[in-house]
Amino acid sequence: MRSIAAFLVLALIWTSGLFAFATRIQQSTPIPDPAPADGIVVLTGANSNERIAAAVDLLAERLGRRVLVSGVNREVTREQLRRASGTVRRLYDCCVDLGFTAVDTVGNARETAEWARSMRFKSLIVVTTDYHMPRAMLELRAVLRPGAFELEPYPVPTKALKSRDWWRAPGAARLMVVEYSKYLAILGREAVLSLGPRETPAAPSPASPQQKD
């Protein structure tokens, strides 16, 4: 009986956390006028074209000097990516850098850190989907020295998750549960690492050409 009660308590805590996480996602919206930053980084994944278009729009508004598109599929050419995202060639050719090494969010963070340091940037606008933003910010803050970099989130809305009854739609519910579980895993990892000296993670393997959230 005690084990069943403990399981029910844990399930209740997990479910409460899930709905709190969902509320956070639903309430996250892009800031209409974000403060200008040195650079803009867009993390690829689902709906990458929308993310890239949002980042280039910020660039066009002179809210950053350059854009990094992190986690580009190695099989996609620069021109194919420009056409798919519908970005203006003038801005794209002059001020958009492509990163091909990242294959997941951990890799995005490392790739972003290397780019920011090479450019000597100290402030970044981070563009990704709303549901991916909490985990992306955790990963970025894990590799960018606290206090040395300013990070401004710019979440791209996911229409399927904005409904109050998102949990009734199988696709939206699955997406929310998976992302929440990944977020909890990163929180747990950071909690464990905070107990001792942090080691620099190994570089991501470049073998896979496909970027995933």
What mean pLDDT, rounded, does the chain reach?
A: 88
Token code pair at residue 41: 């980084």
The predicted structure's pLDDT at residue 14 = 92
Q: What is the pLDDT at residue 211?
A: 59
Give pTM, 2 decimals: 0.85
For 12, list phi and psi in degrees, rounded to 5.
-65, -45
Task: Determine the pLDDT at residue 30.
Answer: 82
Length of the chain: 213
Which residue in the block uniquely carries the two structure tokens 């090494």?
Answer: 101
Ordered strands of the 123-129 beta sheet:
96-99, 66-70, 39-43, 123-129, 150-156
d(CA 155, CA 159): 12
pLDDT score of 201: 47
Q: How confident is the model at residue 209 (pLDDT cuts 50, 70, 90)?
A: very low
CATH of 35-157, one of 3.40.50.620, 3.40.190.150, 3.90.1150.10, 3.90.800.10: 3.40.50.620
The pLDDT tens digits of the residues spanning 125-149 come to 999 999 999 999 999 999 987 778 8
How far apart (Å, rounded) are the C-alpha atoms in residues 123 and 64?
9
Residues 143-201: tens digit of each pLDDT: 987 778 899 999 999 988 988 889 899 999 999 999 999 999 999 998 887 776 555 44
The domains of the chain are located at 35-157, 166-196
Cβ contacts of 117-120, under 8 Å, gap ≥ 24: 119/38, 119/39, 119/66
Angle, helix 2-27 to helix 133-143, in steps of 10 degrees: 90
Whether the Cβ atoms of residue 76 and residue 69 lie closer than 8 Å to each other: no
Neighbours of 71 (CB within 10 A): 27
Predicted pLDDT at 47: 79
- Per-residue pLDDT tens digits for 47-80: 788 999 999 999 999 999 999 999 998 888 899 9
Per-residue pLDDT tens digits for 82-122: 888 888 888 889 999 999 999 999 999 999 999 999 999 99
Is the distance from CB of 69 to CB of 96 less than 8 angstroms?
Answer: yes
pLDDT confidence of 207, banded at 50, 70, 90? very low
